[in-house]
Amino acid sequence: SVDPNQLSDTQRQVLKTKLEEAIRQGEEHKKRRQDEVAEEVRERFEKCNDCVEHPYLSAKNIVNNYGLKELNGSLIIPVAHSITGELRSLQYIDKKGGKRFVSASEVKGNVFPIGFDLKQIHTLEKIVVVEGVATGVSVHLATSLPVVVVFSATFGLEAMNRMRERTQAKFIIAFDNDKNGVGQQKADECVKAVHNSVVKLPSIIGDFNDLHQQQGLDKVKEEIEDFGLGIKRYAIKNLVGSPPPIEWLVDRFIPLKAPGVLSSVGGIGKSFLALQLALNLAKGGGTFLGKNILQSGNSVVLSSEDNQEEIHRRINSLDPHGARFNALYDVFVYTIADHGKPMILLTEDNITAQATELVEELKSIPDLKLVVFDPIQSFVSASSPISSSNESAQLWCSFCASISAQLGATTLSIHHMNKSGLVGTESSMEARQSIRGASSIVDGMRFALALWLANDFEQICMEQGVNPEPTRVVRASVVKTNSGDVDTSVMTLFRNDESPVLDVLKKDKDIKLI
Full set of structural domains in the chain with CATH: 33-238 (3.40.1360.10), 248-509 (3.40.50.300)
What pLDDT is attached to residue 509?
A: 40
CA dist., res. 356 & res. 122, Å (int): 17
pLDDT tens digits, 288-345: 999 999 999 999 999 998 899 999 999 999 999 999 999 999 999 999 989 888 899 9
What pLDDT is attached to residue 285?
A: 85
Q: In the chain, which residues have pLDDT < 50?
A: 508-514
- Write out the DSSP string of 33-81: HHHHHHHHHHHHHHHPEE-S--HHHHHTT----S--EEETTEEEEEEE-
Relative to beta strand 170-173, strand 74-80 is: unpaired
- Write out the DSSP string of 193-250: HSSSEEE---SSSB-HHHHHHHH-HHHHHHHHH--S--GGGG-GGG--SPPPPPPEEE
pLDDT tens digits, 62-104: 999 999 999 999 999 999 999 999 999 999 999 999 999 999 9
DSSP structural state of residue 170: E
State the pTM of this model. 0.62
Handedness of CA 264, 267, 273, 278 (dihedral sign): positive
Range 384-389, long-range pairs (CB < 8 A, 24+ positions): 384/346, 384/347, 384/348, 385/437, 386/346, 386/437, 386/438, 386/441, 387/416, 387/436, 387/437, 387/438, 388/437, 388/438, 389/438
Q: How far from 103 is each of 14, 26, 38, CA to CA, in Å?
A: 34, 17, 11
What pLDDT is attached to residue 140?
A: 98
Q: Give the chain's mean pLDDT.
A: 88
